[in-house]
């Protein structure tokens, strides 16, 4: 549910990193912040935490201007993963334009992943979003650890779902940009459908993604 102010020529998009507690949502944002050049992005805003656990949300904003002058702000949020913060998750998820589900690859976390995904489906319905139309990607994080679900298992479980699945290790940055890029592609496609970004605003997908993901030379 995009926020679009035609008079002001501003558009605000909301992307949400969802997933079970400790699956690495905040780490994904920290890595994005490190990997993406300062030009065009804002600072990572980490709201007050308790023992390094997110209790409100983290926010990494991006800003770009289309060739015709349309200002677009992309806000990437994380939700708190702990079960008890469900009301916060609902509030953050409301009006999301895209969701990245960050799963924990460890076999011991399979049940938590499933529970969190169910919670996502439930809350998407609660905030009035059609899950079939919502751009969604899945990331299996923590591939650097031992005792994780195998690639074959992930393929078996997700190949038929029609959802892009990425394997990542957010701690060392592997797979973080790929996940984000894939989600941005889907978000762009859904936006282009509704607001004719390419036709009316001369903003192509490459430009859109290129403006947001400017890889930091130092980090790369």
For the CB of residue 199, give the shortest distance to another protein in the complex, in Å: 25
Nearer of residues 128 and 162 to another protein, judged by Cβ: 128
For the CB of residue 25, give the shortest distance to another protein in the complex, in Å: 16
For the CB of residue 147, give the shortest distance to another protein in the complex, in Å: 35
Q: At what angle do helices 176-195 and 205-212 cross, to 10 degrees?
A: 140
The β-bridge partners of 103 are 140
44, 53, 52, 47: which is closest to 75 by C-alpha?
Answer: 44
How many CB atoms are closer than 10 A to CB 131?
Answer: 11
For the CB of residue 189, give the shortest distance to another protein in the complex, in Å: 21
Nearer of residues 57 and 101 to another protein, judged by Cβ: 57
The DSSP 8-state label assigned to residue 15 in this structure reads: E
Q: Which of 82, 88, 205, 216 binds another protein (CB under 8 A)?
A: 88
How many CB atoms are closer than 10 A to CB 207?
Answer: 17
CA distance 186 to 192: 10
Alpha helices in the chain (DSSP H): 25-35, 86-93, 110-126, 151-158, 176-195, 197-201, 205-212
Q: What mask, x for binding another protein by CB under 8 A, covers residues 44 to 73?
A: -x-xx-------xx-x-xxx-------x-x
Q: What mask, x for binding another protein by CB under 8 A, covers residues 175 to 204?
A: ------------------------------
Tokens describing residue 50 = 């308790």
Tokens describing residue 145 = 């650890």
Q: What mask, x for binding another protein by CB under 8 A, covers residues 6 to 45?
A: ----x-x-x-------------------------xxxx-x
Give the burial class of 41: count Cβ atoms within 10 A of its Cβ; 0-12 exposed, 13-18 middle, 19 or more buried: buried
Tokens describing residue 94 = 């409301």
Q: What mask, x for binding another protein by CB under 8 A, covers residues 125 to 154?
A: -xxx--------------------------
Q: Which of 28, 66, 70, 77 binds another protein (CB under 8 A)?
A: 77
Q: Which residues bind another protein (CB under 8 A)?
A: 3, 10, 12, 14, 40-43, 45, 47-48, 56-57, 59, 61-63, 71, 73, 75, 77, 87-88, 90-92, 94-95, 126-128
């Amino acid at each position: 549910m995009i926020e679009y102010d035609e008079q002001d020529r501003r558009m605000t998009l909301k992307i949400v990193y969802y997933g079970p507690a400790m699956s690495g949502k905040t780490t994904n944002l920290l890595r994005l912040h490190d990997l993406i050049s300062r030009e065009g992005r804002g600072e990572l805003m980490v709201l007050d935490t308790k023992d390094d656990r997110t209790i409100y949300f983290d926010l990494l904003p991006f800003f770009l201007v289309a060739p015709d002058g349309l200002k677009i702000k992309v806000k990437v949020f994380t939700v708190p993963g702990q079960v008890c913060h469900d009301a916060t998750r609902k509030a953050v998820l409301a009006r999301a334009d895209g969701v990245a589900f960050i799963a924990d690859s460890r076999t011991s976390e399979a049940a938590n992943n499933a529970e969190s995904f169910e919670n996502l489906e439930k809350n998407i319905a609660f905030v009035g979003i059609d899950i079939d139309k919502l751009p969604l990607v899945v990331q299996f994080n923590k591939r650097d650890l031992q005792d994780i679900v195998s690639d074959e298992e992930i393929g078996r479980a997700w190949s038929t779902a029609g959802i892009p699945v990425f394997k990542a290790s957010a701690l060392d940055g592997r797979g973080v940009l790929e996940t984000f890029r894939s989600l941005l592609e889907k978000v762009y496609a859904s936006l282009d459908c509704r607001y004719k970004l390419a036709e009316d605003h001369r903003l192509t997908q490459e430009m859109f993604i290129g403006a947001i993901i400017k890889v930091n030379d130092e980090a790369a």
